[in-house]
Amino acid sequence: MPPPKQQQQAPEAEPLPTPSYPAIESFIERATADEIQALFNPIKEGLTALKGPKAEQGKKIQSALSSAEELLGILLETRERLIAESQGNKGRK
């Protein structure tokens, strides 16, 4: 009688690397609200030009872009507030 087969365990999967987008990150760190708007405007204009079945996809993309633009605006406001607070606290020591 042959020996019982041992169950082979699958090797543990390595954790995925953390995504890094240094170009986007550096742009956001120094961008102004006008630069963010200038980034999104050409894309929005191109999406409005879509016709036919692609127009529905364009509407979904426009919605996602609006959300991203709104979130970036909040991020910029927060960054400016934190910078102002940190500069205001320097003279109080």
Report pLDDT for 2: 59
Residue 18: inside a domain: no
Residue 72: inside a domain: yes
**Regions of the chain with pLDDT less than 70:** 1-11, 16-17, 19, 90-93
- Total number of domains in the chain: 1
Residue 17: inside a domain: no
**Residue 67 belongs to domain spanning:** 33-92
Residue 41: inside a domain: yes
What is the distance between the alpha carbons of residues 89 and 93, in angstroms, rounded to a whole number?
A: 7
Entry pTM: 0.63
Report pLDDT for 11: 65
Residue 26: inside a domain: no
Residue 21: inside a domain: no
Residue 71: inside a domain: yes
Report pLDDT for 22: 82
Residues 6+ apart with CB under 8 A from 27: 35
Residue 8: inside a domain: no
